[in-house]
Chains A and B, each alone.
Chain A
Amino acid sequence: MLETIKAKRWTFLFAILTLAVIAFMLRERYLSLILCFIAINSIAVTGLDVLFGYTGQVSFGHAAFYALGAYGSTLLSIRLGLPPLLTIVLGSLIATFFGIIIAFPASKLVKHFLSLLTIAFGQMVYMFVSVTDKLTNGFSGIIGIPRISMFGYTFKSTQSNFYLLLAVTILVLVVKQRIIHSRIGRAFIAIRENPHAASGMGINVRYYKIMAFAISAFLTGMAGAFYAHLVTFISPDSFMNTQSNLFMTMLLFGGIGTVTGPVIGSIILVVATELMQSFISYQMLIYAFFILAILFYFPNGIIGIYDHLKNLAISRKNRSKLTPANRSLSNQTSKEAD
């Protein structure tokens, strides 16, 4: 009990601190933009997590869905004049559509074969948006993308965009949490843990693998669409292989298969990217070291480090404070705290 109260107090303190930092950052336009990028990346990486973290299907081509969402929404709003709020949904659905198509061959592959397929897919979409001059304006990119508006209000300032993105991110996290704690989420995790046994327990493995691809593509596509309407300019440069690797780095860094992991990973890497602007050409090199360090020392990411420290603290407390007589009692409380 005591531990739960203490844990709650820490969460509360942490929430206050986060709000204070956000409030401070919102005073300035550039810092607000960083907050927006954190939110957008959180959504995209949450999408990747549904695929990789829960069903164990690796993807090194998620920038493709990001691009499909961004270009889909942009072209629909510019060419057809549809309201951005609608085109964001349509753009996400375009990404979903391609997600399902790619999932049919992908659901038969595992590990390195799947990695190769997703890399190829990412490259295909990148090439497509680069060479179709008439449709996407090629390498020059598209400027003047309309901003999001709702009930006559246009989200012009970066700050207002952040409030919108924050709401969407929270919604996405709640939806993900609900999917994971349902029959479908259990099927996803069962497939990751042991596809043979999952199939034997009545789970249609292929169907759920494709479903995971669809959900993942939808979320990452949506993040791409929001990105386009936030910065109002897109070009193929934003959707290179590097972007896919960045999503994967964020996910591994934050911690796979968790709700908060993608958010933490996004915060750290977006901030790190901004801090490293002066030596941008070394960016991927530095990330590569990040990934190696994580994979070797903390395979469960930042969340994993936190859990590890917590367990360490609890077990140390038990050892030092307790006589064997009431040790069983403390085990119960520590279980509750978990």
Chain B
Amino acid sequence: MLSIQEATIKFGGLTAVNQVSFNIPKGSIFGLIGPNGAGKTTLFNIISGVYAPTSGKIVFENKEIQGLPPHKINYLGISRTYQNINLFKKMTVLENVMVGCHSRTCEGLTSAILRTPKQRLEEASVIEKSMAILDFMNLTDKATQKASSLSYGEQRRLEISRAMASDPKLLLLDEPAAGMNGREKDELRETIQRISDRGITVLLVEHDMKLVMNVTHQICVLNYGKKIAEGDPESIQNHQEVITAYLGGGIDG
């Protein structure tokens, strides 16, 4: 579904991502891990269009997407969440998700001013769809609250809800478990599973090894911008170079 081919990005003299290649099969939950500063989030930003790679290709459904602006990539079916929560704080929870529907709706300025029947129909369907997503993410009772009033874990869930609103084929989750407590992490694992059950491919960047090992089908490990290992969770846990990269310590989270 998504194939990264020798993606490289340089910031001045620093090569943040160096000749990284991997394939994400359709319908899988793919993990991307590595120590701090390994280039995971940078790679995320390349896929979602924030940065254009210096060289290399990103192929999504047989289409080269490297260098496209973020809004076009969202339109093609790749949606993301952010490591440092990037919600629309003064909007309500429901409105946040409604913004997420943007690339799947089309009514313009004139129809909004005239309130044409078609526009009203679209608005109603946007609200219905957003409420369904909030229900799916267990946030229904918070719908009318301001996004900034949510707890940390809830804000993370809202980020995922908003990303889901654009009907993505591929969902990029950037450290969704950061700052969550144990129970919330268990819920998150279940949620990722349910998202995958809906036929959405998931790319997960995460530091929490327990979560990554439990939920993903395949893992790619980065260190200093280079891929050092790829495989199923079990083989990664026993991979010598991976263990060394994590300071020789055992991978027990």
- Chain A nearest CB: distance from B110 CB in Å? 10
Q: Assuming A200-B70, A202-B75, is B87 touching A183 (CB within 8 A)?
A: no
Whether B87 pairs with A194 at a CB distance below 8 angstroms is yes
A-B contact count, CB below 8 Å? 97
> B112, A196: Cβ atoms under 8 Å?
no
From A178, A198, A205, contact of B115 by CB (8 A)? A178
Query: Are A193 and B88 in contact, CB atoms less than 8 angstroms apart?
Result: yes
Kindly state the separation between the CA atoms of A196 and B89 in the bound complex, as whole angstroms.
13
Contact call B113/A175, Cβ cutoff below 8 A: yes
B100 an interface residue at 8 Å Cβ cutoff? Answer: yes
Chain A residues within 8 Å of B, Cβ to Cβ? 175, 178-179, 182-187, 189-190, 193-194, 196-205, 211, 215, 335
Which residues of B come within 8 Å of A, CB atoms?
A: 48, 50, 69-71, 74-75, 79-80, 82, 86-91, 95, 98-105, 107-109, 112-113, 115, 119, 122-123, 126, 144, 162-163, 165-166
Evaluate whether A199 and B91 lie within 8 angstroms (CB atoms) in the complex, with A179-B109, A182-B119 already known: no
Q: Can you list 27 A-B pairs, Cβ within 8 angstroms, ordered by A?
A: A182-B119, A183-B126, A186-B99, A186-B102, A187-B102, A190-B91, A193-B88, A193-B90, A194-B89, A197-B86, A197-B88, A200-B48, A200-B70, A200-B79, A200-B80, A200-B86, A201-B74, A201-B79, A201-B100, A201-B162, A201-B165, A202-B71, A202-B100, A202-B166, A203-B99, A204-B71, A211-B109
Least distance between B158 CB and chain A CB atoms (Å) = 11
Expressed in whole angstroms, the minimum distance between the Cβ of A206 and any Cβ of chain B is 9
The 10 closest A-B pairs by CB, nearest first: A202-B103, A182-B112, A202-B74, A193-B88, A197-B86, A199-B70, A202-B102, A190-B99, A204-B71, A202-B71
Per the bound structure, the CA–CA distance linking A336 and B144 in Å amounts to 11
B145 → chain A closest CB, angstroms? 9
Known: A178-B113, A179-B113. 11 other contacts (CB 8 A): A179-B112, A182-B123, A183-B105, A183-B112, A197-B86, A198-B99, A199-B69, A201-B74, A201-B100, A202-B103, A202-B166
Contact across chains for A194 and B86 when beta carbons are under 8 A apart:
yes
> For B112, what are the chain A residues with a Cβ–Cβ distance below 8 Å?
178-179, 182-185
Beta-carbon contact of A203 and B108 below 8 Å: no
Q: Is the CB of B144 within 8 A of A201?
A: no
Closest Cβ–Cβ distance, residue A157 to chain B (whole Å): 31
CA distance A178 to B112 in the complex (A): 6
* Closest chain A CB from B116 CB (angstroms): 11
* Nearest opposing residue in chain A for B103, CB measure: A202
Distance, CA A294 to CA B212, complexed state (A): 50
| Alpha-carbon gap, A197 to B90, bound state (A) | 14
Assembled-state Cα–Cα distance A198/B115 (Å)? 24
Q: Using Cβ atoms and an 8 Å threshold, which residues of chain A touch B98? A: 186
**A205 B86 Cβ-Cβ under 8 A:** no
Q: Is the CB of B86 within 8 A of A196?
A: yes
- In contact, A199 and B71 (Cβ under 8 angstroms): yes
Tell me whether A189 and B88 are in contact (CB under 8 A): yes
Bound together, the chains give a CA A186 to CA B88 distance in angstroms of 10
A204 CA to B80 CA in the complex, in Å? Answer: 16
What are the residues of chain B within 8 A of A193 when measuring CB–CB?
87-91
Provide the residues of chain A in CB contact with B50, threshold 8 Å: 196, 200
- B87 near A197 with CB under 8 A, answer yes
